[in-house]
Amino acid sequence: MGKSIPMDGQIILEAPPAVADLRGESELALFLDFDGTLVDIAEGPEAIAVPADLGQRLLDLGERLSGRLALVSGRALPNIETHLGPLALARAGSHGADRLLADGQSLGDRPEGLPAEALGMLGDYAGLRDLLLETKPHGAALHFRSAPALESDGLRFAEGLADSFGLAVKRGKSVIELVQPGADKGGAVRAFMEVAPFIGARPVFVGDDITDEDGFAAAEELGGFGVLVGDRAPSGARYRLPGVAEVYEWLSL
């Protein structure tokens, strides 16, 4: 269920079952992306509009799920906290590589940052082209929303740096990011599902971007499914919600 194929052969994703219905079938674990899922994409990473009470709403949702709620974002965890405040929720930043349990304990090893030389070369590239460079504790991102014509060249540059320094490239909406290998949202889902209170629950990953596909795949692998937010094809998600407003309605946030 979830995917229908009309006469023209194009796969259309249906809306997911109601959360109440899913909870009636089995214990539910929710994994939520941040940008494009809980807040609309903006011109820059710090230009987002975040509801003042979103942090409390998420805490309330986590309580309804008996703690089986995790945020999984490409942002660094300290950055998420600047927008939502301190959260006693499971969360994973830096594309799932930096993982904390609800009580603040680390889950797995903390990821390393980029080599200084690689970060310097990325900064020089961004400065010469007047691109926004977002530095993070465990990576760095080039934003191309203001100069989309430069994205292909930026991807070639980032891939060259990745090859030279043993890094990985992450693609997103008008953004290219360099991270350490092994940073993906599917890894975060698998790690959380091995510990309480997530063990044995049915995982559902909700996200909008290419990097969320790893989360969709992990949720499906573990007996759950993915929910795509917005329009993007192809996708491994089983269901779809049109946008952030519909995510809030579905979650009763």
CA-CA distance, 205 to 118, in Å (whole number)?
32
Helix (H, G, I), strand (E, B) or coil at 171: strand
Asked if 91 contacts 100 with a C-beta cutoff of 8 angstroms, the reply is yes
**How is residue 91 written in tokens?**
């969360």
- DSSP label at residue 230: S
Asked if 209 contacts 195 with a C-beta cutoff of 8 angstroms, the reply is no
CA-CA distance, 182 to 161, in Å (whole number)?
17
Q: In terms of Cα–Cα distance, which of 141, 109, 150 is closest to 35?
A: 141
End-to-end CA distance of the chain: 25
Catalytic residue among 33, 184, 209, 214: 33
33 labelled catalytic: yes
Cα 178 to chain centroid distance, Å, stands at 15
Which helix (H) or strand (E) segment holds residue 121: the answer is helix 116-128
What residues act catalytically? Answer: 33
